[in-house]
Structure 1
Amino acid sequence: MLLTAEADQLVRQARNAAARAATLARVQVVDEDGMERLRDIAGLFVAVWGTSPSGAPLPADLLRSISHAGCNVTAAYSEGGVLCGAAVAIVSPDNSSMYSLIAGVLPDVADVGVGFALKQHQRAWAVARGLDTMTWTFDPLVSRNARFNLTKLGAHAAEYVQDFYGLMDDELNANDESDRLVAVWPLTTPQTIACSDGLPMTVELPAFTADDVRSTGPDGNPVLVETDGSLWCRVPGDIVSLRGVNPDEATAWRACAREIFRAAFASGHTARGVTRAGWYRLAPGGAL
């Protein structure tokens, strides 16, 4: 357990980082519990993910229950007061971790830091309550999200779950299998603190030769490389678009990534970052 002075310092740092992230993204980030606002948040999730036969990703009545239980429903509003992003997380009893259920921003603000501001707000919320870890799942083929999670936030992943939700029939996932990586975000480590202060990890694919290539992907190009003491795994640049124009190739990428990640994790590797070009760094053992 942290000493009070150290805990207070971490809380201040987390809150300052969250406030700075919101300022840079030009949004106001707040916690919500009223039904009118929660209906808006449910509508935002529909706008981001689309709907399925089972309805909205998280309906307003469930958001109300989550908030009423003392868990986290966070919303981001533009300078004009327009809802542009939201995130939801729950806390388990007798657990020092919180679990992020969903987080999303509208496409037109995806590149201005709203998602980062939401996660930093959640981090500050958690640290203030004595929590030290946040976990969630994400699609390993969506390189943009992977880089955000593992490089910009400083989370890591060493667990691959096949078909986590079953077949996903919303508009974004387009009937793809729901394989997921489990992100683990330690909230108080030096690396996470540096990321929260706008100093993300530097992750660059080293130069490699043909001898370093271990396998090729569905597009015929190198997909698994072993160099510089790590494995490097490539995923598509835009799997969401690929699902629409070439679903067979998208399915092939799912099988390819599944095999690579499972083997890498079984041999003790951990996903520690993602390059801008979509290469995961799979570090051996406890290496950072």
Structure 2
Amino acid sequence: MSQKWSLTQQAETAALVAAESAGAVVSDESSLAGFLEIEALFSRVWLLPPGESAIPSELLRSISHAGCNVTAARDQAGRIIGAAAAIVTPQSSSMYSLIAGVAPGISDRGVGFALKQHQRAWGLARDLTEMTWTFDPLVSRNARFNLSKLGAHANEYVVDFYGPMQGEMNANDESDRLVAVWPLTSAEATACSEDRPIAVDRPSYSPSDVLQEGPDGNPVLVSANGALWCRVPTDIVALRAQNPEVAAEWRRRIRSIFTDVFASGQIARGVSRDGWYRIEPGGTE
């Protein structure tokens, strides 16, 4: 049995288990009706005003027609509850995730995890070994999902990646992004696919370990347990709505920290439940 076949089988099995655990049916989507449903779902997820779209159905159809990935998750009644799309990076063994989202109100069911495991299996079956995407470093829930639940890492920070963002969720904030790199064949990705996430507990530190304080006056960057630790707000979406000035100060502070630590050869590997990034020596991978 070849190593590639064995890993692909592992990924496919893990994807099926994840879908079953989420109570979902996850599969490739290729129908126009399905693309229209996905477009409508993403508009609800990102709280976009009428007439605006996170990704048009026409583009989803083109992505699918080009042989790239459009994944849909449906409940037992056939209703769309999550979706993701990824394109293949030319002349490489990497795929790039454009968008992924889950219907409001069911984020704790594991649908997002099932979508990503389906994409991992899809990529491995096509000799792809890596997936990349971007995410907002201030959204701690997504950060933990990407780095701890999936086993991705990050060592690149991009300022205002998309330009100013519209919609109620983004509240006209700047679109700074971390670049997630997910090695599909790594031991971490394999363990995470079998529901063995990377364990990251909030650091224990003394006052002398504090390197910077955040806009709330509490430690935001500390050196402890052989690593650097960077804290982000518990709920940046609510903070943007309640106090956009403070949210903007968080953006500037986290931008400065990540830009500096990545320039020094550090890498983010995991996030605690309460929003602490673990940053370790690692360099570019």
Could you state the TM-score of these two structures normalised by the residue count of structure 1?
Answer: 0.96
The answer for the alignment partner of 1:139 in structure 2 is 136
Evaluate the alpha carbon distance shift between residue 44 and residue 53 of structure 1 in structure 2; reply closer, same or farther with a 3 A threshold: closer
Match of 1:275 in 2: 272
**Among the aligned pairs, what percent are the same residue?**
60
The letter of the residue matching 2:222 is V
Give the aligned CA root-mean-square deviation in angstroms: 1.5
Aligned residue pairs: how many?
A: 285
Q: Distance in 2 between matches of 1:94 and 1:256?
A: 37
Match of 1:27 among 24, 38, 62: 24
Q: Give, in whole Å, the separation in 2 of the partners of 1:266 and 1:287.
A: 10
Cα shift readout 1:249-272 (whole Å, capped 9, x = no counterpart): 100000000000011101111000
Which residue is 1:205 aligned to? 202
Distance 2:197 2:116 in 1: 14
In structure 1, give the amino acid aligned to 2:204: A
What's the secondary structure of 1:172's corresponding residue? coil
Q: Which residue of 2 aligns with 1:69?
A: 66
Residue 54 to residue 179, structure 1, CA distance change in 2 (3 Å)? farther
Letter in 2 for 1:172: M
Aligned to 1:253: 250
Q: Is the 8 A contact 2:148 2:271 kept in 1?
A: yes
Q: State the distance in 1 between where 2:145 and 2:69 align.
A: 21
Asked whether the 8 Å contact 2:232–2:254 carries over to 1, the reply is yes
> For residues 90 and 153 of structure 2, what CA distance do their matches in structure 1 show?
24
TM-fit CA distance, 1:285: 2.7
* TM-score relative to the length of structure 2: 0.97
Structure 1: segments with no counterpart, 5+ residues: none
Q: Tell me which amino acid in the other structure corresponds to 2:170.
A: N
Shift in Å, 1:5: 0.7
- Please give the alpha-carbon distance, in whole angstroms, between the structure 2 residues aligned to 1:31 and 1:95: 22
Candidates 5, 8, 21, aligned match of 1:8: 5
Q: 1:53 to 1:166 in 2, by over 3 A?
A: farther
Query: 1:235: which partner in 2?
Result: 232
CA 1:95–1:103 in 2, change beyond 3 Å: closer, same or farther? same
Equivalent residue for 2:111, pick from 81, 93, 114: 114
Q: CA deviation at 1:33?
A: 1.2
Distance apart, 1:287 and its partner CA: 11
Aligned partners of 2:50 and 2:40: how far apart in 1?
Answer: 16
Contact 1:50 1:56 in 2 (8 A): no
Following TM superposition, by how much is the alpha carbon of 1:52 offset from its aligned partner in structure 2, in angstroms?
A: 6.0
CA displacement, residues 209-261 of structure 1 (integer Å, 9 cap, x when unaligned): 00000010000000000011110000000000100000001000000000000
Residue 95 (structure 1) shift:
1.3
Instruction: Tell me how far 1:53 sits from its aligned partner.
Output: 9.0
**Is 1:89 aligned with 2:101?**
no
Does the 8 A contact of 1:168 with 1:175 survive in 2? yes
1:57 corresponding residue in structure 2: 54
Whether the 8 Å CA contact 1:52–1:169 is kept in 2: the answer is no
How far residue 206 of structure 1 moved from its aligned partner, in angstroms, is 2.7
Q: Secondary structure at the match of 1:108?
A: coil
Would the aligned equivalents of 2:200 and 2:270 in 1 still touch at CA under 8 Å? yes
C-alpha distance in 2 between matches for 1:52 and 1:164? 22
Q: Which residue does 1:159 correspond to in 2?
A: 156
